[in-house]
Copies of this chain bind each other. A is one copy, B any other.
Amino acid sequence: MSGQKNRQVLVKKLPDGIPLEDDFEMGESAIPEPQDGTFRARTLVLSLDPYVRAVMSGRHFYGAPKPGDVMRGRSVARVDASRHPQYREGDVVVMESGLQDYAISDGDDVHRADTGTAPVSTALGVLGMPGLTAYAALLGPAQIKEGETVLVSAASGAVGSMVGQIAKINGCRAIGIAGSEEKCRWTESEAGFDACLNRKTDDLHARLSELAADGADIFFDNTGGDIQNLVMTKHLAVNSRVILSGLITQYNLPEAPPGPNLGNLCKMRTTVFGFVVYDFEHMRERFLTDAKRWFAEGKIRFKEDMTEGLETAPAQFSKLMHGDNFGKTLVKVAE
């Protein structure tokens, strides 16, 4: 690989509020060589995810990065040099690569990109961690049952769209909340939700009172904030379950705002689960078996917001954190 360099997206400064393109800068290093027990992989498609903003604030169990660090991120990557017993050149994997062309791994937290007939990029979306998040939460703690009403925020995203589609596959009613008419249209007509409310233009309280007069049996919360407050205080059903999966509304804030009053949880005998997908690795195989079959049967739609070129990653991340993305936010880095 002589002459070539490893391009990297570095943290320039820790963002203040919503991350801007300018909070990052491009850098480069020599292309690393794998040592015994490790492999090197070429990044193909990068995933940009809201939780990384929480990491940057030190509010995630991963530590906060420092200026100069390679920005964290998962990717689909192809092994191009290996001294690891289980990975060979040409293997396509999902790994924590960081935002760079090449990364070294010891195989920890690496999965083979097993997507069947679906595009390999879905290993970062509906057939990857976001899909597993929806699947494991609904079938695990939320104990989804046929005929229930499932309400999900950020409904057109990778997690949200899978929540609604898995709900439909399980014979439930799916109601989404999303941030634009375009997102709502896709969520209803493509992803097959029964309804999707526009949080910017709909009167959510009035619409939810009509659509789910007895409240949501399952509320899958990706956003926190006003939506969480409204749903948890006024739109839960008796014996409801709440999955706290994401808090995108507050990742940009300097400190955590107050949450919903919890009185209604007693009244409704609600159970709330702080959900971390990493605890559900044991469901991954079952998820992939189901999800690949559903995909092959045409039951899974997905939407991607993909740009090309590693250097587009900072702007894509900023767009995501502004809520202006539509679909799973990705960057194509190489073929």
Contact = CB atoms under 8 A, between A and B. Distances in A.
B259 A260 contact: yes
B259 A261 contact: yes
B272 A265 contact: yes
A334 interface: no
A266 B229 CA distance: 16
Nearest to A275: B266
Contacts of A247: 262-263, 266
A256 interface: yes
A268 B274 contact: yes
Interface residues of A, number: 34
In the complex, the count of this chain's copies comes to: 2
A180 interface: no
A267 interface: yes
Interface string A268-286: 1111111110010000000
A245 interface: yes
Interface of A: 59-61, 141, 224, 228-229, 233, 244-245, 247, 250, 256-276, 279
Given A59-B267, A244-B262, 15 more contacts: A59-B263, A60-B267, A244-B266, A245-B266, A257-B261, A258-B258, A259-B259, A259-B260, A259-B261, A262-B274, A265-B272, A266-B276, A267-B274, A269-B275, A269-B279
10 contacts: A60-B267, A244-B265, A245-B266, A250-B261, A259-B261, A262-B272, A266-B275, A270-B272, A271-B271, A272-B273
